[in-house]
Amino acid sequence: MTYKIGIDAGGTHTTAEAYDQNGNLLTKVETGQGNVNADYEEAMANIKDAIRQIQAELGPDCEKILAGIAGVSVTGEYAKISQELANTFNVPSKTITDSAIALYRALKGKDGILTIAGTGSVVNGLQNGHIIAVGGYGHLLGDEGSGYAISIAALKKALNTYDQGKTSPLTEMFTRHFNVNRMEDCNALVYRMDRPQIGKLALLVSSLANQGDSDAILVLEDQADLLAHDILMCLDRFTTPKPMDIAFTGSVLTKNEVVRKRVEADILAKYPDANFIISDGGNASGVLYDEATDYTRPLIK
């Protein structure tokens, strides 16, 4: 039986899924981190391990491998990785970013936009086979509307209140969370956290916003505006007729109603016929929607 493999290789784990000709899921395996910019050797070992497990189960008749890999947009090693996979497994292979395979999956191969906002954020538009990327420049230079950006903006807002010699529900939330007496004392602790840990503080901000706190709501709305601005730039760059499907994925957009509703309102103000889709779950199935034939062939038969 022939099958195709889709891979979603991200910063914490790699998911590989195999589908038959009718799009039925045959099997799914998960291995470790797959970000080739964080650790190329480790990521490639985890990606190959996932493919090997599937071949061991389903046999050699794999038709193609579409690998969506985190970090490849930074390293630029699309061709190198495609050739390495094609040669190792003797299967036509193609490497794209993890956000691109998520885009194929979210829009089922149709043109439109995928907006991801989790710990980081990025906007990817697809029109006539051409991808337009907006944002996604990482925690220092971008990631508007991400959990990380929300957390930092909320901490800055609370520090501003503290600098005025005042307290607020936001300062009280942070000092309680970090178990310190003064807002200022949160800082040293924040600088010792990694980015995903900082990003999770956004959950506290959301929870305070849901209780109606104006500072928390303002922080979320500001970040939503920045993210909507990125999506609008992508829509502006589409040629007419513009595709109007806009998919959202990532914890901030799928779980935070304040952010998603504000983003939707900002977009509808300029593009009233925009259509919003929520896409959560596995992106490896994006392989089902890539009709392109530009897969790298094995050098050794």
Q: How far is CA 115 from the centre of its chain?
A: 8
Question: What string marks each residue from 73 to 112 as x (binds a second copy by CB under 8 A) or -?
Answer: -x--------------------------------------
What is the gyration radius of the CA atoms in the chain, in angstroms? 21
Quick check: 33 and 42 in contact, CB under 8 A?
yes
Residue 208 to residue 216: CA distance in whole angstroms: 6
Question: What string marks each residue from 234 to 253 as x (binds a second copy by CB under 8 A) or -?
Answer: --xx----------------
Instruction: State the nearest-atom distance from the C-beta of 216 to a second copy, in Å.
Output: 17
Instruction: State the nearest-atom distance from the C-beta of 256 to a second copy, in Å.
Output: 22
| Residue 197 interacting with a second copy (CB under 8 A) | no
First to last CA, the chain: 20
Question: What string marks each residue from 58 to 77 as x (binds a second copy by CB under 8 A) or -?
Answer: ----------------x---
Q: Which residue is it, tokens 């957009």? A: 253
Instruction: State the nearest-atom distance from the C-beta of 233 to a second copy, in Å.
Output: 5
Q: Which residue in the set 72, 155, 274, 288 belongs to the binding site for a second copy (CB under 8 A)?
A: 155
Instruction: State the nearest-atom distance from the C-beta of 292 to a second copy, in Å.
Output: 23
| Residue 38 interacting with a second copy (CB under 8 A) | no
Beta bridge partner(s), residue 69: 9, 97
Nearer to a second copy, 27 or 37 (CB): 37
Instruction: State the nearest-atom distance from the C-beta of 155 to a second copy, in Å.
Output: 6
Stretch touching a second copy by CB under 8 A, among 6-14, 88-96, 212-220, 233-241: 233-241
Instruction: State the nearest-atom distance from the C-beta of 239 to a second copy, in Å.
Output: 12
Q: How far is CA 14 from CA 29, 46, 165, 175, 209, in A?
A: 8, 7, 47, 36, 33
Q: Which residue in the set 61, 163, 172, 257 belongs to the binding site for a second copy (CB under 8 A)?
A: 163
Beta bridge partner(s), residue 14: 9, 31
- What tokens were used for 66? 């579409």
Nearer to a second copy, 137 or 276 (CB): 137
Q: How far is CA 119 from CA 46, 122, 149, in A?
A: 22, 10, 8
Calculate the CA dihedral of residues 124, 66, 12, 277 and round it to 10 degrees.
40
| Residue 131 interacting with a second copy (CB under 8 A) | no
Instruction: State the nearest-atom distance from the C-beta of 76 to a second copy, in Å.
Output: 9
Helices and strands counted in the chain (H then E): 12, 10
| Residue 141 interacting with a second copy (CB under 8 A) | yes
What single letter denotes the amino acid at residue 33?
Answer: Q
| Residue 194 interacting with a second copy (CB under 8 A) | no
Residues 282, 288, 289, 293, CA torsion sign: positive
| Residue 270 interacting with a second copy (CB under 8 A) | no
Interface with a second copy in residues 18-37 (CB under 8 A): 37
Quick check: 181 and 189 in contact, CB under 8 A?
no
Calculate the CA dihedral of residues 99, 226, 110, 102 and round it to 10 degrees.
20
Nearer to a second copy, 138 or 298 (CB): 138
Quick check: 237 and 126 in contact, CB under 8 A?
no
Which residues bind to a second copy, rule: CB under 8 A?
37, 74, 134-135, 137-138, 140-142, 152, 155-156, 159-160, 163-165, 184, 187-188, 190-191, 230, 233, 236-237
